[in-house]
Amino acid sequence: MDLYYAPLACSFASHLLIRESGLSVNLIPVSLSRKELHTGINFLDVAPQGQVPVLRFDDGRLLTENSAVLQALARKASAEGAPGLLPEAGTRAHDETLEWLSFIGTEIHKQCLYPMFQRDAPGEVKAWSRSRLPGKLRTVASRLEGRRFLTGDRFTVADAYLAWALMLCEQTGTGVLGLEGLSAYWTHIKARPTFGQCFAHEARLHKSMA
């Protein structure tokens, strides 16, 4: 199984999940700006959409879209003895995990963060997206009250996705991470060894591939 990922892009969540679960997955870095692999191969020949993450199964099948890839990795981890990253279907925790994946993907990632980091996005669009971010994170903060992680006491795929989003929020310098209920969560996430390992790896790679 291969994961095509771009340093510090949203595929960070899948990379983090792999480290959390101990899965054996080949990590293949991609330059999104050049649309090529680190070996020089045209990434569009691998994935015509030209976006990450892309998960290639052993039978050659490709899976794209962050939420789908995270769930596939979690199911594989569960089958290999590392359950809990995706709560059991039919449970409240499972429903909440899917809810969070949707919220992070649409409300935080695509509505706020994506435009802010697009070079060709008009300034007005970037400003509007930036203005929407605090409200989205206040929603997260309010739901974190009394919880260690998004859906309770266990790290899930939703936390992996949010970890990437908060990492980018920190880079924007908006100060939104000081929200009550979110600050402690973010400090806790950053202190996880897997997060530090993942960030250090991708930061070095991002610099070398710039």
DSSP 8-state class, residue 59: T
**Is residue 103's pLDDT more than 80?**
yes
Q: How confident is the model at residue 143 (pLDDT cuts 50, 70, 90)?
A: very high
Residues 23-58 pLDDT 10s: 999 999 999 999 999 888 999 999 999 999 999 999
**Domains present along the chain, CATH in parentheses:** 2-84+195-209 (3.40.30.10), 92-193 (1.20.1050.10)
**What does the mean pLDDT of the chain come to?**
94
Per-residue pLDDT, averaged over 70-91, amounts to 95
**Is residue 174's pLDDT more than 80?**
no
CA angle 11, 14, 20 (to 5 degrees): 145
What does the pLDDT read at residue 203?
95
What does the pLDDT read at residue 3?
98
**Is residue 161's pLDDT more than 90?**
yes
**Is residue 65's pLDDT more than 90?**
yes
Collapse the DSSP code of 35 into the 3-class scheme (helix H, G, I; strand E, B; otherwise coil) and give the result: coil
Both tokens assigned to 8? 């510090």
What does the pLDDT read at residue 209?
83
Residue pair 9/199 in contact (Cβ under 8 Å)? The answer is: no
**Cβ contacts of 83 within 8 Å, gap of 6 or more:** 77
Confidence (pTM): 0.96
Buried b (16+ CB within 10 A) or exposed e, 104-118: bbebbbeebbebbee
